[in-house]
């Protein structure tokens, strides 16, 4: 019997990890200078797509779905989810910062 090819619909990270959609790399500087592909600056920002249950229930980890984050790419695991893959499973230890529009009240 031939196996049917299954399309993945959802990925749930396990443990202290999140699924991140990496931002597009910059193609030009703020001053408008176009960057060639060889000189591409690696982008290490992205949006959280999915959070593991462990992270969702951890009050000490202030991460939510759709947060924009800055992460260290060394331990990020690429996910072969789409042809133009930009999804990565990132351990929360490698998330360096969360971008917020305002300062949290408890600061």
Residue 90 lies in a domain: yes
Residue 13: predicted pLDDT: 92
Domain with 75, as residue range(s), is 17-26+40-99
DSSP 47-75: EEEEE-HHHHT-TT----TT-EEEE-GGG
pLDDT at 12 exceeding the cut of 60: yes
Q: Average pLDDT of 64-91?
A: 87
With H, G, I as helix, E, B as strand and everything else as coil, classify residue 12: coil
Residue 29: predicted pLDDT: 64
- Retrieve residue 39's tokens: 């000189």
The percentage of the chain sitting over the pLDDT mark of 70, rounded to a whole number, equals: 68
Residue 8 lies in a domain: no
- Retrieve residue 7's tokens: 């399309």
Residue 60 lies in a domain: yes
Q: Which of 44, 24, 28, 26 is nearest to 97 (CA)?
A: 44
pTM of the predicted model, to two decimals? 0.72
Q: What is the CATH number of the domain that holds 85?
A: 2.30.33.40
pLDDT at 42 exceeding the cut of 80: no
Residue 105 lies in a domain: no
Total domains, the chain:
1
């Amino acid at each position: 019997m031939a196996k049917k090819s299954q399309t993945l619909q959802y990925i749930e990270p396990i443990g202290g990890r999140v699924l991140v959609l990496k931002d597009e790399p910059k193609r030009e500087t703020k001053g408008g200078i176009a960057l060639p592909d060889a000189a591409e600056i690696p982008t290490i920002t992205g949006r959280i797509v999915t959070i593991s249950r462990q992270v969702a229930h951890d009050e000490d980890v202030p991460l939510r779905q759709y947060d924009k984050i800055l992460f260290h790419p060394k331990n990020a695991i690429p996910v072969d989810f789409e042809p133009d893959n930009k999804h990565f499973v990132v351990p929360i230890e490698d998330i360096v910062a969360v971008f917020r529009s305002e300062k949290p009240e408890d600061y």
